[in-house]
Structure 1
């Protein structure tokens, strides 16, 4: 039984004597190295495992833990422990815990996901590195949000640039924070830059810094830029689509060469920075119109996350509203514990052009306006209650009915997350009929 367990263990395992001769190698290790388990016994370990140090540990008696070892095209994480019998060194045992460094990073990311659920971890790292949010702060039950969370876990452990896209108010910054919190740079700086909020003439000095005397009013001793401050960490370039053309050229050079030169400086400084960018602008169209550099677009668009608008994931309105009620009630010092069903219905019927940010503002107003411990329809902002329905105007009945039918199908498809069979059942029509109407209304 013991031999079977060791042979099929997840870790790869090898045992050598004090001369470095292999006494045992388990089945999974042999399969990876493509060697016969019966043939390796009696061979010197250096003839079987490349870049091994097992024979060295077997002679020195010095333990080596979590050491990187390059085997068959991958860096792996190995442990080597000397074996003693009656205080005499007789050999060594070696294990490979993670098959490659990427596997170790994924495990590290998984652990950080669990830790991010603890409030003290989040607040502590926030003070340390500037990232205020974790994956646990992203609220949503829709499949699209759950898939996004899984994708964040996958991309966080790497070092690739990430472009986060979505309408204003969808929560792009929360995803940027979460990627940093789950990355290998989580204990390093997280620096935020809103490219659309800084005047064009100041953007270069903000990003790259300046030397003393570079311009009138320059601070004595100069000032480091955002890229220098983010060194070894992450820089979040929000609203990158609003960056002026001259700055796009300079940013591209920094991303290519990984070095910055301060305004008024004569030398460059190397920086190690991971870039996360976000925009609500149509960058592809801007590239075609020559308003955004194509080479810069491909440089930042290595990995892309798209956050769908709230109107396309209506299921998230209720959980988001509940989370806002809890947060705002504590902040306002009021005891408001839930939203009444009639009020929830009004929230569902709204189109939310301002997305989650608009929803938060509406809930904040409702918390302050309610005189009860619940949010009812009367406490919601007036614009959510003013449902005028379809306006007839000078249109004929056919156009009015088609508009109502199109809107009903659109909302049902959103509610069912585009599951057309379920939508057809809810609407009480056949699947073929639904497909025809979807094509007719270009939904």
Structure 2
């Protein structure tokens, strides 16, 4: 607004603005002399406008901070002030012309304690909401496990942990190999938490769960209007969200070949370009990948790129299957039970020797994930504060019976069928090296049905 426009505003309008009943306003000039006091301010300060105008502000309000505003030229918004035994929220604003301070304005933003209280309650509510969303964000993009969460004293597991600790001290790419359920993601979390990027985002990408047509937008993001159905404001990709943090590519073997080429370029240049163009974004991230597949075999078959393998495979960590470390099974089982009891608010239960013997004799095709499933079931089935062999699934009890020669007890037909179905799925996945499409064909079911059953039996 120009000076001419201001001159055209009538005196009546300007006075109505300054003396409105919703604000308590006081104006002083550069010398600290009061030039205007609104009628709303009279009731707050207990001084009439007529007696205040023309006097120095220190005479009207000895504790006024307006002279400091004139000296510093800096505004103070949202400060609290006690007037006549009531807390107020005040704004102190310097008034300038041609770069020079010519006065200052004091304005009460909230003149009643009820409004101040309501503001504080609103701020407290917003802080709680912010804490909630921070917590939710951390659950999605935060890291949950450290090396302390990895239980076991066997030589194989200790060697894997020692190598992972070394990997955590630098930014080199890591591949974690192991059967489903051996704790590949837990190791990835632990490496992130023990390294220099701890506290930053940990972005998990399950390559086996992303439809092929959505792979590029999930990883690299897209600009507004890049394709039909895209958000109007666009979206950042998962790799972009991992800036300064760690990107964990789980089931890297499931990544389509065309995406392997684009991922290789991103790993080489550390630059991401969203679908639909836009400015290339320089991204600083650490990559950790995992798979249960034999990548070298896939390279020979032409389903995985050799150059990408070299880029990912700076450090390789192999995790032992649970059946190869039976000495760790009692430790891991008891740790899982303690965690479940703590979460459920119940006393820790004791595991009887016959149950431990059965657990150690079983071959655990689902590894630690299956062991946790058995622990949850045993807690539900067990009577009292002990878990014995009868509280374990029939397949686990049957393994122990085979070992010690005792007759196997009759089992419910449903349990037998479920056990057989689970074993068939595990066998098919092994025979096809984890290729879910081939395993589904071998089993005579649709791939979607296989995913549903794998989820049911916790084989994903």
**Mapped pair 1:389 → 2:383:** no
Alignment pair present for 1:237 and 2:224: no
Deviations 1:178-234 (A, max 9, x none): 110011111211111001011111111010000110111111110000111001111
Q: Distance in 1 between matches of 2:345 and 2:201?
A: 33
Matched, 1:370 2:382: yes
- Runs of 4+ that moved beyond 2 A: 123-129, 330-337, 386-390
Cα 1:343/1:242, change in 2 over 3 Å: same
Answer yes or no: is 1:339 the counterpart of 2:351: yes
Unmatched tracts of structure 2, length 5 or more: 1-134, 404-460
C-alpha separation in 2, matches of 1:143 and 1:311: 14
State the partner residue of 1:163. 175
Match of 1:321 in 2: 333
CA separation in 1, counterparts of 2:304 and 2:348?
A: 47
1:385: how far off?
Answer: 1.4
Unaligned runs of 5+ in 1: 1-122, 391-443
Contact 2:141 2:204 survives alignment (8 Å): no
Q: 1:311 — aligned with what?
A: 323
**Cα pair 2:223 2:278 within 8 Å, conserved:** no
1:280 pairs with 2:292? yes
Q: RMSD of the TM alignment (CA)?
A: 1.9
The question of whether the paired residues in 1 share the 8 Å contact of 2:246 and 2:287 is answered with yes
In 1, distance between residues paired with 2:314 and 2:209? Answer: 25
Contact 1:336 1:372 in 2 (8 A): no
1:213 match: 225
- How far apart, in 1, do the equivalents of 2:235 and 2:200 lie? 20
Match of 2:214 among 197, 202, 210: 202
Q: Show the 5 A alignment for 1:32-43.
A: none
Query: Where does residue 62 of structure 1 map in the other structure?
Result: none
Given the alignment of the two structures, is residue 330 of structure 1 paired with residue 342 of structure 2, yes or no?
yes
Deviations 1:303-358 (A, max 9, x none): 01100101111111000000011111223343342210000000011001110011
Give how far 1:127 is off: 5.8
Cα distance change on mapping 1:227 and 1:124 into 2, 3 Å: closer
Normalising to structure 2: TM-score of the pair?
A: 0.56
Aligned mates of 1:124, 1:140 — CA distance in 2 = 31
User: In the alignment, is the contact (CA less than 8 A) between 1:125 and 1:131 conserved in 2?
Assistant: no
State the alpha-carbon separation in 2 of the partners of residues 156 and 305 from structure 1.
Answer: 12
Contact 1:336–1:367 (CA<8 Å) still a contact in 2? no
State yes or no: 1:149 paired with 2:149.
no
Name the larger-Rg structure: 2
Alignment of 1:301 onto 2:335: no
